[in-house]
Structure 1
Amino acid sequence: MPKEQADTNAPSVLRPPAEVFAAFLKLGLTSFGGPIAHLGYFRQEFVVRRRWIDEAGYADLVALCQFLPGPASSQVGFALGLLRGGPLGALAAWTAFTLPSAILLLLFASGATALSGPVGDNLLHGLKLVAVCVVAQAVWGMARTLAPDVQRASIAAIAALTAIFVAGSTGQLSAIVLGGLAGFYLCRQDAAQTIGKLAFPVSKRVGGAALLTFFLLLVLLPLAASSGLSQGLSLFDAFYRAGALVFGGGHVVLPLLEAEVVQPGWVGTDAFLAGYGAAQAVPGPLFTFAAYLGAVMGPEPNGMAGAAICLLAIFLPGFLLVIGALPFWDAFRRRPAAQAIMRGTNAAVVGILAAALYDPVWTSTVDGPGDIGLALLGFALLVLLKTPPWVVVVFVASGAMLIGLI
């Protein structure tokens, strides 16, 4: 079957949402490896094979989504669906890419409650050790790319201390704000060159409305949730704020969600880290971890209803930002001050994730020499041998079960 002819970046005739859904469902079922791998899959499928967008347009779209808070790979997929099929195409792309991993994590949430006895306890402990390996890998990789010099390494260190000594989401938000301010003054050198031009079917009026909605929800949801009238509203607020503050990659959602659901007592630390470990073994976006958390939540709504609320809430802010930024991106990204602020912010999230690696990931998981050895082996497999994450999940979980039964 011949390849489709290359389209412009703003097609005059939108394609049926079913076409978009089918294309993204294949990726939702097979895209292992995390957000960077997802972007590679997208390029192969939509730039090289299907030719929905050209190389320069795709590179610029990736730059936009990496600049914004939120799950970068899901934002790129959402934007590609918007380009190909309009608003319904964007919804189809997100649903197809997200649903497989969300269903798998819902099944794990159902089965996790049935795990008991030595085998079940050791399996859950192994999944918590997987979280140690994966977060350590994320800190290592992000530090090398986002904090490679003295200025940004210092910002990362101060952010880590801030997140450790100022509890909860307040400390994390303070670290991000301080990182942005420090970047504005310290990281203006080497402004990045900008290439390409995004031409999506989004007007400035629609973009402005999306940005206004994003900020209104960010401000008004906590006020509404503070009334205590609805646990569902409190849940939506917690996951919306977590999704709105994720700079630098999906793994940064770990400390944000820990502050929102573990510290209030909605989800136990063991269940939280076990679910995070299981999320490494499924394809698709890491943000579907929210579906697991919504399902195992202590207070109602939980189960399917809790999963749906959490999943929608954590993805919504990132998508509002993409819609809002598309009409203004070409002008904004050329400003050196904007680039400097983002350098500082990205360095700060390295520190936030490093703080989370220490507490709660390490302190609540690693108990002795056997755990340290398994964590180091898992880390080496990920970093040195580039082993797929699902293989590390199987290896570390099996090792923990074997050590526990000996």
Structure 2
Amino acid sequence: MDTDLSSPQPSRLARILEVLTVFLKLGLTSFGGPIAHIGYFRREFVERRRWLDDEAFTDLIGLCQFLPGPASSQAGFSIGLLRAGWAGGLAAWCGFTLPSIVVMLAFAAIAPDLAGPAGAGAIHGLKLVAVAVVAQAVWDMARRLCPDRRRAAIALASIALLSLLDTAFAQLIVIGAGALLGVALCRPNAADAASRAPSQHRHHFQVSRPAGIAALIAFCALLFALPLWTTTAGSQSLRVFDAFYRSGALVFGGGHVVLPLLQRATVATGWIAPNDFLAGYGAAQAVPGPLFTFAAYLGWMMNAAPRHWSGALLATLGIFLPGLLLVVAALPWWQALRARATMSAALAGVNAAVVGLLAAALYSPVWTSAVLSPADFAIACIGFVMLTRWKTPPLAVVVLCVASGVALGLLHHG
């Protein structure tokens, strides 16, 4: 696929503003969690704007899925970096993340007033939106990333392995197994290898190797030094930042996987009540943007100093920073390695394994937490058909599902 790089290029400032505008729109409309975000990103940046070709995009998603941290935020930062340099990466992160943070903080302020059938129905309707959007993402990515029997077999093996594993590192194990199976089964032939070479020059992430090494050193220094620092400094602010930094640094697979770590960091320590934690979890599934902004809600609600704005800021920076440092550390080597046959095969296997991860997540927790009745099933199916066959804008599907959820909630209550 040709990119738009041959056309007249806008100025650097225009590119930064363009990145900010596009990601702000995505931050306001990207319902469905990190799985659905991949589908939104592909439609926006591969099909519509052609900032990346399909091959580079899928490889980038494979890299971000392999690293700890929020994959959709890491991918968005990388795309902004590609388009407009470091300022573009920051603009992409801010545009995609800030709307969700604002909504989560607003929810923290008004949560006591939302306890009722209409409010519960609205949240449930947004969960049904997630079912439709995630199902669409699984369908589209399966057709693209598993075009042959070998990669389809890797995806199925990933689903089977996930059903057997009961560990917080299940996603990492599955992705690592996918990479190994890819090396064994998916080595490209000469024609495929030749077809990959041109894309190496069309997509250049503006990260030098010294910058990547510095990012890796910073990641490791914060991960290992912060716990020691908190024991000697006795600062509550430092303890809050350390707790959320470790949660972001040690989670593989992103999204819902971070919740057990956050529960241990906030509920088990007495910083937040269990009911408040669960209420924020439900709201985080119902808002657009990255699920990691749940940390902003927790930082606001904590029963420990600092509270409110300062707590929300520390929690948000702490949980996002490690993932961004890691993707900066990986990008310089990823550009060089992805052209090699072994890396190409490994990424093909990782991408197929990601399809298995998406399919497993579609069942649990997305389906199991949202589809609780035949009416829920009907609403989710209608939303899926609207997205896949009728090409309805996602916002229209959101409105339909929320209205249906409210109506069902009021009907059941009456």
- Which interval holds the TM-score relative to the shorter structure? 0.7 to 0.9
Distance 1:180 1:212, change over 3 A: farther
Higher helix share: 2
Alignment match of 2:348 (pick from 318, 343, 353)? 343
Q: 1:294 aligns with which of 293, 296, 299?
A: 296
Aligned to 2:286: 277
Q: Aligned partners of 2:401, 2:228: CA distance in 1, in Å?
A: 43
What residue number does 1:147 align with? 146
Whether contact under 8 Å (1:65, 1:322) holds in the other structure is no
Distance verdict in 2 for CA 1:40–1:204, change over 3 Å: same
1:302-313 equivalence runs, <5 A: 303-305=308-310, 307-313=312-318
Structure 1's unaligned 5+ residue stretches are 9-13, 48-54, 247-252, 280-285
2:213 to 205, 208, 211: 208
Question: Per-residue CA shift, 1:88-110, capped at 9, x if unaligned?
Answer: 56434533453344323433454
Q: Could you list the per-position Cα deviations for residues 164-191 of structure 1 after superposition, in whole angstroms to 9, with x for gaps in the alignment?
A: 3323422222111111111111111354
- Partner of residue 24, structure 1: 19
Following TM superposition, by how much is the alpha carbon of 1:295 offset from its aligned partner in structure 2, in angstroms?
Answer: 0.4
Out of 379, 388, 393, the position equivalent to 2:398 is 393
The 3-state SS of whatever aligns with 2:21 is: helix
Aligned to 1:250: none
C-alpha displacement of 1:206: 2.3
Separation of aligned partners in 2, 1:184 and 1:300: 49
Q: CA deviation at 1:382?
A: 1.9
Q: Given residue 140 of structure 1, which amino acid in structure 2 is its aligned partner?
A: W
CA offset at residue 203 of structure 1?
Answer: 3.3
Aligned residue in 2 for 1:11: none
CA deviation string 1:113-138 (max 9, x = no partner): 43111111211221222222222222
Provide, for residues 257-280 of structure 1, a one-character-per-residue CA deviation record: whole Å limited to 9, x for no partner. 34544688677566434422322x
* Aligned 1:291-370 pairs, distance under 5 A: 291-296=293-298, 303-305=308-310, 307-370=312-375
Q: How well do the aligned residues superpose, as a CA RMSD in angstroms?
A: 3.9
SS of alignment partner, residue 169 of structure 2: helix
Partner of 1:76: 79
Match of 1:256 in 2: 257
**Partners of 2:371 and 2:258 in 1: how far apart?**
21
1:6 shift after superposition: 4.6
CA 1:340–1:58: 2 relative to 1, 3 Å: closer
1:234 paired with 2:229, answer no
Query: In structure 1, what is the Cα distance between the partners aligned to 2:313 and 2:127?
Result: 24
The equivalences for 1:140-179 within 5 A come to 140-179=139-178
Distance 1:320 1:42, change over 3 A: same
2:61 aligned with 1:66? yes
Conservation of the 8 A alpha-carbon contact between 1:239 and 1:257: yes
Identity of aligned residues (%): 34
Length, aligned pairs only: 367
Decide which of 194, 209, 213 is 2:197's aligned counterpart. 194
Normalised by the length of structure 1, the TM-score is 0.74
CA 353–262 in structure 1, closer or farther in 2 if over 3 Å, else same: farther
2:3 is matched with which residue?
none
Give the secondary structure class of the aligned counterpart of 2:161. Answer: helix
Q: Secondary structure at the match of 2:188?
A: coil
CA distance in 1, matches of 2:77, 2:88: 13
Q: Which moved more, 1:23-32 or 1:134-143?
A: 23-32
